[in-house]
Amino acid sequence: MFLALAALHGMILAAWPSLPVIALGVWWNSNTISHNFIHRPFFERRWQNQVFSAYLTALLGIPQALWRERHLAHHAGVRWRVRVSPQILVETALVISLWGVLAVFAPRFLLGVYVPGYTVGLALCALQGHYEHAAGVVSHYGRLYNFLCFNDGFHAEHHAYPGVEWCDLPSRAAAGVRTSRWPALLRWLDCFSLEGMERLVLRSTGLQRFVIARHQRALAEVFTGLRVERVTIVGGGLFPRTALILRRLLPDARITVMDQSREHIETARAYLPQEIGFDVRHFDSVERPDCDLLVIPLCFQGNLEEIYRQPPARAVLVHDWIWRRRGVSRVVSVFLLKRVNLITS
C-alpha cells in the first residue's frame, strides 16, 4: 500500500507541480510513508530499501538516510550529529543534482514554485514535530486524521512502541496518555481556551440565555424516551448549563457535578439549587462512575475515542465538535461549532 501511495504521490507531483502539491506532499509523505519506512523498512534486501530511499529522496527533496538518523536519535533521546555515510553522500548528491537540473531548465519554476512549496512543507513538518512534543508526547485520536495519516495521531503509543506497525497502534492505547482534540498542525488552537469562553458567558446574561436555549433544544431531542435516575456531569463548574438544563428535563434524577477545580465548583453553586451534589475531583476516563448517565464536556482531556467505544455508563452524553457525529446526535449550534452525542450501551 505504501509503495502504491508513494508512486501515486510521484504521479500527482508530475501532473500538477504546484506549490500546494509540493508543500502538502512533503509534509504528508514525511509523516506517513517516509516515517513508516524509517521504522519498518519495506523490503527484505538492503539494496531494494536503498533504491526506495533514493526515490523518496528525489520525491521529497530530503536525503532519507539523513532524515532516518535524525529521527532515530529523536526516539533515543540523544543529540543528533551528522555521520557521513556513502548512502547519505549519494542521496545528498541526488538532491543537489535535481535542484541543479531545475535551475538550468526551469529556473522560474524552481524559484517561484518549488522552493516556496518545499519551504512551506518543511515548515509544516517543523510545526507538526513541535506540537507533538510541546507539552510532552501527545496523542490525537480523531478518526479522520488517523485514517488519512495511518494512525500518526497515536504518537505517545508510537514513542512507547516505535517498532509496532501503524495498524496495531490503536491496540496499544492506554489510560493516562496525554491527548489533544486537535491534530498536531492545528494544536495551536488549544491556545484559545474553552475556559476563557466560559468566563465570557459568565459576564453576559444574554450569552447565558443563548447557550441554554441552544443546548436545551438539542438535549431534549436526544433524551427522548431515556429514563435516568442518577447523573454525573464531568467538568460542570463555572457556568453549569448542562446541570441547569438536566434539572428541567430530568426533574426526578439525582445530579452530581464533578470538577477538579474548587473555584469552578463555587462559581457553579451560585446558579444551581441546593439539591445538586458536587464532587471535587478529577475524572479518570477508565473509571465507571455509579450513575445511569455520564456527561463528558467539550474540554475533556482523555481518551475520548475509548469512551465512545466502551461507554463507562449505561448512557453517555458527549459535548463534541460539530464534525464528530456519534450515536444519537444533534447539533447544538453552528455558530458554536458544537453538537451533542448520546451513546448507550
CA distances from 241 to 38, 71, 201, 302, 335 (A): 49, 46, 10, 22, 17
Q: Looking at residue 194, what is its pLDDT?
A: 66
* 110-137: pLDDT as tens digits: 999 999 999 999 999 999 999 999 878 9
Look up residue 328 and give its three cell numbers: 444519537
Q: Looking at residue 180, what is its pLDDT?
A: 83
pLDDT at 192 over 70: no
pLDDT at 190 over 80: no
Look up residue 116 and give its three cell numbers: 516556496
Q: Looking at residue 201, what is its pLDDT?
A: 82
Look up residue 101 and give its three cell numbers: 537540473
Look up residue 224 and give its three cell numbers: 427522548
* 130-178: pLDDT as tens digits: 999 987 898 999 899 999 999 999 999 999 999 999 999 999 887 677 8
Q: Are 293 and 315 in contact (CB under 8 A)?
A: yes
Q: Is 196 exposed, middle or buried (0-12, 13-18, 19+ CB in 10 A)?
A: exposed
* Weakest-pLDDT range from 69-83, 111-125, 226-240: 226-240
Q: 195-344 maps to which CATH number?
A: 3.40.50.150
Query: Rounded CA gap, 158 and 289, in Å?
Result: 30
- pLDDT level of residue 2 (50, 70, 90 thresholds): very high
pLDDT at 282 over 90: no
Cell 426533574 sits on residue:
251
- pLDDT level of residue 200 (50, 70, 90 thresholds): confident
DSSP 179: B
Query: Rounded CA gap, 55 and 39, in Å?
Result: 17
pLDDT at 265 over 80: yes
Query: Rounded CA gap, 209 and 102, in Å?
Result: 61
pLDDT at 53 over 90: yes
Look up residue 327 and give its three cell numbers: 450515536
Beta bridge partners, 255, equal 231
Look up residue 138 and give its three cell numbers: 501527545
Q: Looking at residue 74, what is its pLDDT?
A: 93
Q: Looking at residue 68, what is its pLDDT?
A: 95
Whether pTM > 0.85 for this model: the answer is no
Residue 89 CB neighbour total at 10 angstroms: 12
Q: What is the mean pLDDT of residues 210-239?
A: 89
Q: Looking at residue 300, what is its pLDDT?
A: 84
pLDDT at 191 over 90: no
List, by residue range, all CATH 3.40.50.150 domains of the chain. 195-344
Query: Rounded CA gap, 39 and 78, in Å?
Result: 17
For the chain, the average pLDDT equals 91
pLDDT at 193 over 90: no
201-208 contact pairs (CB < 8 A, 24+): 201/238, 201/239, 202/238, 202/239, 202/267, 208/239, 208/241
